[in-house]
Structure 1
Amino acid sequence: MSDRPVLVVIYDEGSATVLDVTEGLEPLGDVVLALWPSPHTRTVQLLAEELVPVVVLSEDPEVSARLLRAHRPDAVLTFSEKRLHDTARLAVRLGLPYHSPETVDLLRDKHAQRTRLREHGVDSVRHHRLERPADWEPALAAVGLPAVLKPAGGLGSRSTHLVETAEQGAALAAALLTGADPEPLVLEEFLRGQDRGRFGDYVSVESAVSAGGISHWAVTGKFPLSPPFRETGQLRPAALAATEREDVLALVTAALRALGVTRGVTHTEVKLTSDGPRIIEVNGRLGGWQVQLARLAGDLDPVTLAGRVALGEDVSDVRAQDEQVVFTRSFLAPYEGGTYAGVQGLRAASALEGVKRINCPHAPGDRLPPGVHTSEVGWMEAVVADHDAMFRLAERVAEELSFVVEPPREAPEAPREEPGAVTALAGTTAP
């Protein structure tokens, strides 16, 4: 029997793949992948079984806990937003440290999170919860316009809308709250960001909370959003002045303490406004794209960092080095959806100096669902000397690379042009 610690990962679609998890945690101990029954895990089960011991979980937490106890785990963690509650409940049953169920409630429910941050004087964004269409009028009265309407437990900009008129908001609330499998919504004050030029008007703070305290190990900059709130790229280091960075980190520290985070990794999005930094939302797991950015930077593996935290190590001195600029740039699917047909210019774009990888995850014939969620037809990963070189390279790739998406039958004939998005409909266009 191995004397190495055992790390159980409650696995589902999230910010780290099966290979990311196994490679990142193997230096720390023996890894057990506990697959949550879902369409995603069914597609990766055979690969997982080739790499490490696998447990297929039950939706009954006591059954799942019994299956996991047989492996004598020393730590439990997840990289999936959807599995935070399940991981917290299993951690209690296994007697292992993790975000408490109460803290997970605050991390997952954006209305509850906003309420707690207001109560602790951390941030005072106006907000209101909606559970039925009739809640629209009191929500509008409490928040005002413009505002953001989104699922209380949403992720990936799913069903997230900018509301500018009362009529628009009422219609959206009615549609989202009476459709198939409706979930509560939150209407919250729209935070207007500063004009940051070619940079996005928000950042994310990547944190690790351990016995030694809070380590904000990286601050991730962003490219400008594509309307309404679709992410188009990530970069490190963020383009912040020293005093502004300090203000951002102080705000995130206060938020994590208010939410009761005592152990785990977090990903906090912060809007940069003329009145200073404001919390967009705090998430109780590793942020998206952090594995890719860390791989490009070559300084630390955030999956390994998450494992160290789960094992109880003090990681308060861990920091990303940020000695060069690393970035990802996304090419977004059209709002209307369609059928992916292919990519052109891949060889020329991949050969540009600084480009490390261009990922094209779809095969010709794949259906792309419509919606305002962030959905990529591809993305690039690159390393350059500075931010100016980053923008130049991103523009050069856009000149060479184009994706082809055939429109759905009900789509308009002419494509809409949107900043940072791929809108190739029945033809080709540069991203």
Structure 2
Amino acid sequence: MGEPAPLAVAYDVGSVSPAEIAVGVAGLVPVAFLLPHSPHVRKLRPVLSRLGRVVQLTGRPERDVVLVRRLAPAGVLTFSENLLRVTAGLAHDLGLPGHTPEVAEVLTDKYRQRERLRVAGVDAVRCHLVPDAAAWERALSAVGLPAVVKPVHGQGSRGTFAVRDRVEAEGVRSRLFEDPGGAWVVEEFLQGRPSGTLGDYVSVETATGPDGTKVLAMTGKHPLTPPFRETGQFWPAALPHEDHAAVSDLAVRAVTALGVTTGVCHTEVKLTPGGPRIIEVNGRLGGHLNELSRRASGVDLVRTAALLALGAPSPPAPTPPGRVYFQFNGLAPVRPGQLRALTGGDDVRCLEGITGYRPYVSPGDHLPGGVGSVFMDLLTGDVPDHRAMVDLLNRALPLLRYEFTDGATTWIEHPRQAQADDPAPQNPPCATASPNRLETDSGNRQQTI
């Protein structure tokens, strides 16, 4: 008897980790990884080859569908934003469940997505396409100020700017068109309602299968770091019942209007004084949500996505957790630089309520700068309520310290920019924490994480 037909998973940067994929699919079907040519894939190819079969994509759709057809896959799936269109084309050509090519185009094109939602009567956020510098002034006049400027294609807040007045508009315009070729959108700025110590937006995680779309969970967010840099999330969101219902309804209507028939979607929603508004709909699992879901509810969202790709019905929503489970990500600096030291990990791990601290970078790494949400690390924990979460983060974050250099100067940052100038605690929270220091004169980097 032959091996069962595999699940073909297109893998690249921005995906959940190879280990999460292997764990999520374990016991269902074998995994075959479809790999584009990219630096990220080259680095991780040895790991991927140990977890499943590896197929190198050529970048030519007519050739790649032949390669994948030879696998006779039971389903095709991706967790990477930049492979949504590739995966949709493969699913369509092979007659498998998934986004259609047309749906994938709308999900990955911010202008077309806004237009589809407006025409469907779901949400009419003013939006204007800027294909080149000549359209810049028309876009500003049509949308008005303040506004948000985004690349038509992109993720992780990369290249996203706030434009509050004409002075900022001129500064952004000069940056956008230094390198011609990219298209942009200018959108209405959605002003969030007062939200205290929590973020003024949430995300809605949905599952769509043969039986329709269901809300799996609503994810609360920490406040953004300007301009629109994400710093983490938590379950459950801190919303009253009526807001929860309105946000859920809006997200389901948005996913339906965009034509989604299969898969997990991640819809970001702004909480404004006039009600919930769509920020954007993403046609794949949101970043770090599988880790959060597994801790908070025991539900593996990678497995959920795999089952949907294999044609299974939408699963029931996880039971809401009785505690608040959170993640917090320190952000790489907007200014380019080389990391010299990342310290404080031992001290943070000693705090009650913190369940993990994982750095994503190491001394010597060069960080390119920019306004995207590039994460330095992941801090996880769980506490009785949202107030306790805020209190714990206020104690934990000043303990973490990042030291950078650009060759001419050296500077220090902390995970939350608003706390960057706060003095670090003089006493570590537990006596066993070893000191973290950097000896720069000799070039000998010492780090305890």
Residue 319 of structure 1: SS of its match in structure 2?
A: coil
Change (3 A) 1:321 1:28: farther
Q: Take 1:422 and 1:69, find their aligned partners in 2: how far apart are those partners?
A: 53
Query: Does the aligned pair in 1 maintain the 2:123–2:278 contact within 8 Å?
Result: yes
Query: Does the aligned pair in 2 maintain the 1:218–1:320 contact within 8 Å?
Result: no
Query: Does the aligned pair in 1 maintain the 2:400–2:414 contact within 8 Å?
Result: no
Which residue in the other structure is 2:126 paired with? 126
Letter of the 1:338 partner, please give it: G
Change (3 A) 1:243 1:167: same
Q: Take 1:418 and 1:351, find their aligned partners in 2: how far apart are those partners?
A: 18
Q: Take 1:211 and 1:319, find their aligned partners in 2: how far apart are those partners?
A: 19
Residue 221 of structure 1: SS of its match in structure 2?
A: strand
Letter of the 2:318 partner, please give it: R
Which residue in the other structure is 2:155 paired with? 155
Letter of the 1:235 partner, please give it: F
**Deviation of 1:325 (Å):** 1.1
Letter of the 1:68 partner, please give it: V
Which residue in the other structure is 1:53 paired with? 53
Residue 244 of structure 2: SS of its match in structure 1?
A: helix
| Map 1:6-405 → 2, pairs under 5 A | 6-179=6-179, 182-399=181-398, 401-405=399-403
Query: Does the aligned pair in 2 maintain the 1:146–1:164 contact within 8 Å?
Result: yes
**Deviation of 1:298 (Å):** 4.4
Q: Take 1:165 and 1:362, find their aligned partners in 2: how far apart are those partners?
A: 36
Query: Does the aligned pair in 2 maintain the 1:208–1:316 contact within 8 Å?
Result: yes
Partner deviation per Cα, 1:3-23 (whole Å, 9 max, x = no partner): 534210011112411111111
Residue 376 of structure 2: SS of its match in structure 1?
A: strand
Change (3 A) 1:144 1:89: same
**Deviation of 1:328 (Å):** 0.5
Residue 162 of structure 1: SS of its match in structure 2?
A: strand
Residue 21 of structure 1: SS of its match in structure 2?
A: helix
2:416 matches 1:408: no
Partner deviation per Cα, 1:105-145 (whole Å, 9 max, x = no partner): 11111111111111111111111000111111110111000
Query: Does the aligned pair in 1 maintain the 2:220–2:238 contact within 8 Å?
Result: yes
**Deviation of 1:168 (Å):** 2.5
Moved more, 169-178 or 183-192: 169-178
Query: Does the aligned pair in 2 maintain the 1:6–1:32 contact within 8 Å?
Result: yes
Partner deviation per Cα, 1:231-256 (whole Å, 9 max, x = no partner): 11100000000110000011111111
Letter of the 1:142 partner, please give it: A
Query: Does the aligned pair in 1 maintain the 2:205–2:267 contact within 8 Å?
Result: yes
Q: Take 2:354 and 2:413, find their aligned partners in 1: how far apart are those partners?
A: 28
Residue 243 of structure 1: SS of its match in structure 2?
A: helix
**Deviation of 1:291 (Å):** 1.5
Partner deviation per Cα, 1:145-194 (whole Å, 9 max, x = no partner): 00000101121000100001224224423432341x63110000000001
Residue 295 of structure 1: SS of its match in structure 2?
A: helix
Q: Take 2:261 and 2:378, find their aligned partners in 1: how far apart are those partners?
A: 35
Q: Take 1:119 and 1:410, find their aligned partners in 2: how far apart are those partners?
A: 53
Query: Does the aligned pair in 1 maintain the 2:5–2:71 contact within 8 Å?
Result: no
Letter of the 1:407 partner, please give it: T
Q: Take 1:410 and 1:164, find their aligned partners in 2: how far apart are those partners?
A: 32
**Deviation of 1:320 (Å):** 4.6
Residue 331 of structure 1: SS of its match in structure 2?
A: coil
Give the TM-score normalised by structure 2: 0.90
Q: Take 1:378 and 1:294, find their aligned partners in 2: how far apart are those partners?
A: 18
Q: Take 1:171 and 1:133, find their aligned partners in 2: how far apart are those partners?
A: 13
What stretches of structure 1 of length at least 5 have no aligned partner? none
**Deviation of 1:30 (Å):** 1.1
Change (3 A) 1:46 1:418: closer
Residue 328 of structure 1: SS of its match in structure 2?
A: strand
**Deviation of 1:376 (Å):** 2.0
Q: Take 1:222 and 1:311, find their aligned partners in 2: how far apart are those partners?
A: 31
Change (3 A) 1:212 1:226: same
Letter of the 2:278 partner, please give it: I
Query: Does the aligned pair in 2 maintain the 1:334–1:423 contact within 8 Å?
Result: no
**Deviation of 1:422 (Å):** 7.9
Query: Does the aligned pair in 1 maintain the 2:158–2:373 contact within 8 Å?
Result: yes
Residue 353 of structure 1: SS of its match in structure 2?
A: coil
Query: Does the aligned pair in 1 maintain the 2:32–2:55 contact within 8 Å?
Result: yes
What stretches of structure 2 of length at least 5 have no aligned partner? 426-449
Letter of the 2:122 partner, please give it: V
Letter of the 1:13 partner, please give it: V
Change (3 A) 1:60 1:125: same
Letter of the 2:45 partner, please give it: Q
The two structures, once aligned, show a CA RMSD in angstroms of 2.1
Identical-pair percentage? 42
**Deviation of 1:37 (Å):** 1.3
Query: Does the aligned pair in 1 maintain the 2:329–2:379 contact within 8 Å?
Result: yes
Letter of the 2:283 partner, please give it: G
Residue 340 of structure 1: SS of its match in structure 2?
A: strand
Q: Take 2:379 and 2:278, find their aligned partners in 1: how far apart are those partners?
A: 28
Moved over 6 A (4+): 413-418
Q: Take 1:190 and 1:116, find their aligned partners in 2: how far apart are those partners?
A: 19
Q: Take 1:421 and 1:177, find their aligned partners in 2: how far apart are those partners?
A: 31
Q: Take 2:319 and 2:280, find their aligned partners in 1: how far apart are those partners?
A: 22
